[in-house]
């Protein structure tokens, strides 16, 4: 899935504003929580702003779903990695095959957030289709 540059830039701008960072400090590969110091309340605020901007609800909590299983070492199982790749093709999951996952948000980069927005926008019924149904 190709992520729109416009969406990526909007996400970067909003994250910078919410976290009181300079835009140059917010790169596509930066992790929202680990690298940028984001907190749970700030991801909720970001979701609110993105909903307002794009008219889509974001479901970051789906990354915490019970359907993603860990093995006894704390690594995502092969089945869980395959499921994540299928459901969220924009996630960069290379290197997670054998690395214990400390937090399930370990792959929530700025680009991944933009991917969630892109996926939600693409799955949103078009305004034309909605008008025809009325």
Is 12 exposed, middle or buried (CB count within 10 Å of its CB: 0-12, 13-18, 19+)? buried
Q: Residue holding tokens 């140059």?
A: 24
pTM for the full predicted model: 0.84
pLDDT digits (tens, 9 = 90+) for 10-68: 999 999 999 999 999 999 999 999 999 999 899 999 999 999 999 998 877 766 665 67
pLDDT in tens, 98-131: 788 777 678 889 999 999 999 999 988 765 344 3
Phi and psi angles of residue 75, each rounded to the nearest 5 degrees, phi first: -100, 150
CATH class of the domain defined by 5-123: mainly alpha
Q: 37 in the Ramachandran plot: left (φ > 0), alpha (ψ -120 to 50) or beta?
A: left
């Amino acid at each position: 899935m190709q992520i729109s540059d416009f969406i990526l830039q909007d996400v970067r701008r909003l994250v910078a504003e919410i976290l009181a960072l300079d835009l140059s400090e917010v790169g596509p590969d930066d992790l929202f929580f680990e690298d940028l110091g984001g907190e749970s309340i700030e991801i909720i605020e970001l979701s609110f702003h993105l909903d307002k901007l794009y008219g889509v609800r974001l479901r970051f909590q789906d990354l915490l779903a019970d359907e993603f299983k860990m093995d006894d070492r704390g690594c995502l199982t092969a089945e869980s990695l395959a499921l994540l790749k299928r459901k969220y093709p924009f996630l960069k999951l290379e290197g997670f095959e054998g690395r214990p996952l400390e937090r399930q948000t370990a792959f929530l980069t700025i680009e991944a957030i933009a991917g969630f927005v892109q996926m939600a926008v693409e799955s949103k019924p078009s305004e034309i289709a909605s008008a025809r149904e009325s």
